[in-house]
Amino acid sequence: MSRIPPRQLNVKDKDRRFYVAAPSSVYLKLQHEAITRGTDLWTLGGAVLTDWLSAGCPDLRLSDPGVTENSLSPPSSSSPLAGPTGGAE
C-alpha cells in the first residue's frame, strides 16, 4: 500500500515547461518577440504568464479596436485630492 507523502516545509519553486495552444501566427509573433528581446520562446512566454498572474489575471481585450495601451492603465482616482485629471468637475 502506498502512503501519501508528508508535506514539505521548503519546496523549491523550480522552472517547469508546459504546453499551451495558440494559433500559428501568435506562436510566430511570440517567437519573433523573444528573439528581439534576446531570450527564448519558453522564457518569454513564462514571463508574460507570470506577470499576468501577478497582476491578478486582468481581462485584456487587445483585439478590440477601442482598446489602446493607455486604456489598459488603471482608472483615474475619483478623489478630489487626486488632481485635475482624477477629480470630479
Residue 46 belongs to a domain: yes
Decide: 87 and 79 in contact? Cβ < 8 Å: yes
pTM over 0.75: no
Cβ neighbours around 45 below 10 Å, total: 20
- Examine residue 34 and state whether it is found in any structural domain, yes or no: yes
- Note whether residue 49 is domain-resident: yes
On whether residue 80 sits in a domain, the answer given is: no
Position 40 in a domain: yes
Q: Tell whether 39 is covered by a domain.
A: yes
| Domain span holding position 48 | 21-57
Q: CA–CA separation, 61 vs 67, rounded Å? A: 7
- Count of domains for the chain: 1
pLDDT (tens digit per residue) in 12-69: 999 999 999 999 999 999 999 999 999 999 999 999 999 999 999 999 877 666 555 5
Structural domain includes residue 66: no
